[in-house]
């Protein structure tokens, strides 16, 4: 995504200023026309009112009737002009001869402008014309005597320059208001931009869009299912892997926007939202599908605002664990066989140097026959290749450690109907053998026996050692998580055995006496491959 030309703050400020300026500009244009029209109309009314006032003056009427001195009209006109601040007040007779004028030298001369004709015919009006004092707005009013006969006319002039000044003065208030409005708009735009920038954590829109695209791609590409809820418990996010798991569990429809408790009643996400505590590696049954779930609250300003759960089908996890266990067992077997082979090479080298060739031949034959017999017996009795490989590796590891590990199986053990059982069996057998090997470290007789027996859909696993044994108090605690007689950081192996047995609905009998060794007997329901449920 290309980076924008402007930052978010600059964009908001520019946009708000443009909107305010455009709005106020249009308002100013519309109001200015009204102001101009209003000012012009006011000036017209003012000029007409003055003209009417002069036309009704008894002094003016008597003078035009020949009953008063014309000089009195000039003085009266000057007084009116000074009091009303007009450009001129001109009184004329019916021939258009001036009786008054701001310039006394023009008194007695004909009125100029050419727009006086209608008023001499008794009409009242306003016109714009150029006279001796320049371009002006002129208001004309007829002068009539007591009998209603027109005896003259009066013209009151207002300079158009004064009209323009009045219009400009009327618009100045609007201009000042517009300027103040723009300043307020800029201030508000800056404040709004900073507030939005703070909410967006200082990110620009293009950066937010890029993060959103990356987040969407990432969430849809991971194999773990992801579901998120908001503070009200509504589902806000479900990725592709989660939808597949929901479909596998028989859940239909689009979960987006639904209440989490309505769609997944046992999810416990709402409890995480309330407590704010994280839950990791928890098992959950989703309509027959067992999943491993991690639940984490979403915290903003130390307040939970949502929760996220990531989960994966336990079958996939167990399959991966089996693959890893198989690789580890294979590596352990190879390492044990390498050490064992080096020891046998040393024996062969010694027999060759002492030229005991007959003894050498017997030793080689015994070694080959023993290996073939051991591997053949295990693979014959245990049909599951993963479990068989695991047992062969344990036998080699025991020989390398200087201990005797014997294996017996009265009946052949077929492959399990459910492949998940293999992983559980490896957990049980491996930890029991490991515990037994540690128990015989300080024992004069280092011997461990492993027996498997399959009959009537029951698998019996028995592990016996010649170790130091356990007291009754230790036996009561040995399956507790974290309990160990070997120091801190231990006590996990037998706890995993107990967990595996619980999942398989099995049972275990433990018998042990101090100095007499220990015997673990495990009984597990076992359905062979190909048999009916």
CATH of 356-525, one of 3.30.565.10, 3.30.70.3290, 3.40.50.970, 3.40.50.1820: 3.30.565.10
Q: What is the residue-averaged pLDDT of the chain?
A: 79
pLDDT of residue 483: 67
The CATH architecture assigned to 11-166 reads 2-Layer Sandwich (3.30)
Which residues, in sequence order, are bridge partners of residue 204?
Answer: none
The b-or-e profile of 424-437 (16+ CB within 10 A means b, else e) is bbbbbbbbbbebbb
pLDDT of residue 187: 82
Shared fold status for 11-166 and 356-525: no
Instruction: Locate all alpha helices (DSSP H) within 354-492, ordered by sequence.
Output: 357-381, 385-400, 420-439, 472-477
Alpha-carbon span 452 to 418, nearest angstrom: 19
Task: Categorize the per-residue pLDDT at 156 as very low, low, confident or very high, splitting at 50, 70 and 90.
Answer: very high
Task: Categorize the per-residue pLDDT at 24 as very low, low, confident or very high, splitting at 50, 70 and 90.
Answer: confident
Contacts of residues 266-272 at CB distance under 8 Å and 24 or more positions apart, as own/partner, are 267/227, 267/309, 268/295, 269/227, 269/229, 269/233, 269/295, 269/307, 269/309, 270/229, 270/233, 270/307, 272/296, 272/297, 272/304, 272/307
Average confidence (pLDDT) over 333-349: 62
Q: In the chain, where are the structural domains located?
A: 11-166, 227-314, 356-525
Which residues, in sequence order, are bridge partners of residue 464?
Answer: 449, 519
Of 111-120, 133-142, 258-267, 484-493, least confident by mean pLDDT is 484-493
Residue range 227-314, CATH number: 3.30.450.20
**What confidence tens digit (pLDDT) does each residue in 417-440 have?**
887 788 888 888 888 888 888 888
Task: Categorize the per-residue pLDDT at 153 as very low, low, confident or very high, splitting at 50, 70 and 90.
Answer: very high
Instruction: Locate all alpha helices (DSSP H) within 383-450, ordered by sequence.
Output: 385-400, 420-439
pLDDT of residue 1: 43
Of 35-44, 437-446, 509-518, least confident by mean pLDDT is 35-44
Contacts of residues 179-182 at CB distance under 8 Å and 24 or more positions apart, as own/partner, are 181/20, 181/24, 182/17, 182/20, 182/21, 182/24
DSSP symbols for 84-118: HT-SEEEEEETT-BBS--SSGGGTTSBP-SS--HH
**What confidence tens digit (pLDDT) does each residue in 444-499 have?**
888 889 999 998 889 999 999 988 888 888 878 777 766 666 655 456 778 888 88
Which residue carries 């508000």 as its tokens?
188
Alpha-carbon span 162 to 174, nearest angstrom: 19
Alpha-carbon span 100 to 78, nearest angstrom: 8
Question: pTM score, two decimals?
Answer: 0.39
Token pair for residue 195? 């507030």
Average confidence (pLDDT) over 320-344: 57
């Amino acid at each position: 995504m290309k980076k924008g030309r402007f930052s978010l703050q600059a964009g908001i400020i520019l946009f708000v200023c443009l909107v305010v300026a455009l709005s106020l500009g249009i308002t100013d244009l519309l109001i200015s026309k009204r102001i101009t029209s209003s000012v012009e109309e006011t000036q017209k009314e003012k000029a007409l009112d003055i003209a009417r006032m002069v036309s009704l003056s008894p002094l003016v009427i008597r003078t035009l009737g020949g009953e008063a001195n014309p000089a009195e009209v000039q003085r009266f006109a000057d007084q009116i002009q000074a009091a009303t601040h007009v450009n001129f007040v001109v009184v004329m007779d019916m021939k258009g001869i001036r009786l008054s004028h701001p310039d006394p030298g023009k008194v007695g001369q004909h009125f100029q402008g050419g727009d006086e004709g209608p008023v001499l015919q008794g009409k009242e009006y306003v016109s714009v014309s150029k006279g001796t004092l320049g371009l002006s707005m002129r208001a004309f009013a007829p002068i009539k005597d007591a009998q209603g006969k027109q005896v003259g006319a009066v013209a009151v002039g207002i300079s158009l320059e004064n009209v323009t000044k009045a219009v400009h003065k009327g618009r100045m208030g609007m201009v000042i208001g517009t300027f103040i409005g723009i300043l307020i708009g800029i201030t508000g735009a800056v404040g709004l931009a900073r507030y939005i920038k703070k909410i967006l954590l200082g990110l620009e829109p293009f950066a937010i869009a890029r993060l959103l695209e990356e987040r969407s791609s990432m969430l849809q590409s991971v194999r773990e299912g992801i579901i998120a809820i908001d503070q009200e418990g509504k589902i806000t996010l479900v990725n592709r892997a989660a939808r597949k798991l929901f479909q596998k569990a028989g859940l239909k429809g689009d979960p987006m926007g639904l209440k989490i408790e309505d769609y997944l009643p046992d999810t416990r996400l709402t409890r995480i939202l309330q407590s704010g505590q994280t839950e990791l590696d928890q098992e959950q049954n989703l309509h027959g599908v067992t999943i491993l779930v991690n639940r984490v609250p979403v915290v903003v300003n130390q307040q939970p605002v949502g929760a996220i759960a990531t989960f994966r089908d336990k079958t996939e996890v167990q399959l991966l664990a089996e693959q890893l266990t198989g690789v580890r067992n294979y590596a352990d077997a190879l390492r044990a066989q390498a050490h064992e082979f080096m020891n046998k090479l040393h024996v062969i080298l010694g027999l060759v140097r002492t030229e005991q060739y007959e003894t050498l031949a017997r030793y080689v034959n015994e070694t080959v026959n023993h290996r073939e017999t051991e591997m053949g017996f295990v693979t014959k009795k245990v049909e599951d290749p993963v479990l068989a490989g695991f047992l062969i590796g344990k036998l080699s590891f025991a020989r390398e450690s200087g201990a005797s590990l014997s294996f017996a199986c009265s009946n052949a053990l077929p492959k399990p109907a459910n492949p998940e059982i293999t992983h559980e069996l490896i957990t049980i057998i491996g930890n029991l053998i490991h515990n037994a090997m540690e128990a015989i470290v300080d024992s004069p007789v280092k011997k461990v026996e492993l027996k498997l027996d399959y009959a009537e859909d029951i698998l019996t696993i028995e592990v016996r050692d010649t170790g130091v044994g356990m007291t009754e108090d230790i036996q009561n605690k040995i399956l507790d998580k974290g309990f160990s007689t070997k120091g801190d950081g231990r006590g996990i192996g037998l706890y995993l055995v107990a967990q595996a047995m619980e999942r398989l609905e099995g049972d275990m009998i433990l018998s042990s006496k101090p100095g007499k060794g220990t015997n673990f007997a495990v009984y597990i329901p076992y359905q062979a491959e190909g048999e009916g449920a």
